């Protein structure tokens, strides 16, 4: 499958050393966003993930050259950010619905993906598959999302090792509680780490930078031990997204 990611991202994936910084999908504090963005840049992260807000996006793009992914469940918000310079968009952030006992169906997610695809043609689109779906439902939705041209697929929930007969990059998530476990997970076959709310434990940019760079350094030094096939995973407060392998 032809890569649709920005040039910087596929090169990092191939080299098995990509680190994503999740600024916070509900983080609309300009001070906090700038602080984490600068830490990501200084820590040599590959790209950042922010809320799909054009004002925040414009500010972030004005202070850094690091690629920016924006996340939302609203295709129009994603489209607006795409026109303002976002490098990638992601359909996700379903947590706000879970808390309200609202769960999107596979058809609704597929419709959101198709609507977003109809609006956005020039940058990659990622989609999150809810962990509330049965594994068979997740796999079926992944097939359908790939069929309509999604670039990457993120799946919530605990990891399950399965052979995957489709090519789209997939993220699967499961909780771990220390960087040592993260290191083991990387060595097991992953190639992209996303660092999220764990950064709230660090007050200064200096401490954030050290933490981020430690992971970046590990990814670089461990790249030769990883499987060549490009997989994506995530850490959000040390949440690892494990792929089907």
187-215 per-position pLDDT tens digit: 445 556 778 878 888 989 999 999 999 88
- Domains of the chain, start order: 15-157+175-220 (3.20.20.70)
pTM of the predicted structure, to 2 decimals: 0.75
For the chain, the distance separating the N- and C-terminal CA atoms, rounded to the nearest angstrom, is 17
39: confidence class by pLDDT, cuts 50, 70, 90:
very high
28: CB partners within 8 A, 6+ apart = 51, 53, 56
Under 8 Å between Cβ of 37 and 58? no
Distance CA 27, CA 20 (A): 16
153: confidence class by pLDDT, cuts 50, 70, 90:
confident
State residue 193's pLDDT score: 73
3-state secondary structure of 56: helix
For the segment 121-148, the average pLDDT, to the nearest whole number, is 91
- CA-to-CA separations, 76 to 11, 116, 179, 205, 224, in angstroms, rounded: 29, 8, 37, 33, 41
Distance CA 78, CA 166 (A): 26
Q: Which of 29-33, 37-41, 75-79, 124-128 has the lowest mean pLDDT?
A: 124-128
Identify the helix (H) or strand (E) that includes residue 60.
helix 54-63
């Amino acid at each position: 499958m032809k890569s649709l990611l920005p040039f910087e991202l596929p090169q990092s994936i191939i080299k098995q050393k990509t680190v994503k910084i999740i600024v916070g999908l509900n983080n609309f504090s300009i001070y906090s966003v700038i602080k984490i963005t600068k830490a990501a840049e200084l820590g040599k992260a590959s790209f950042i993930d922010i809320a799909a807000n054009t004002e925040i996006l414009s500010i972030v793009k004005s202070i850094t050259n690091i690629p920016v992914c924006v996340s939302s469940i609203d295709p129009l918000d994603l489209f607006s950010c795409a026109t303002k310079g976002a490098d990638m968009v992601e359909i996700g952030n379903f947590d706000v619905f879970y808390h309200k006992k609202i769960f999107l169906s596979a058809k609704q997610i597929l419709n959101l993906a198709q609507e977003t695809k109809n609006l956005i043609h020039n940058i990659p689109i990622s989609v999150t598959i809810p962990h509330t779906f049965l594994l068979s439902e997740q796999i079926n939705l992944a097939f359908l999302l790939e069929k309509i041209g999604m670039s990457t697929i993120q799946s919530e929930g605990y990891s399950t090792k399965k052979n995957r007969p489709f090519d789209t990059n997939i993220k699967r998530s499961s909780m771990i509680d220390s960087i040592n476990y993260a290191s083991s997970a990387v060595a097991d076959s992953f190639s992209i780490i996303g660092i999220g709310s764990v950064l709230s434990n660090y007050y200064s940019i200096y401490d954030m930078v050290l933490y981020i760079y430690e992971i970046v350094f590990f990814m670089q030094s461990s790249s030769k031990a990883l499987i060549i096939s490009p997989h994506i995973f995530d850490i959000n407060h040390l949440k690892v997204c494990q792929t089907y392998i």
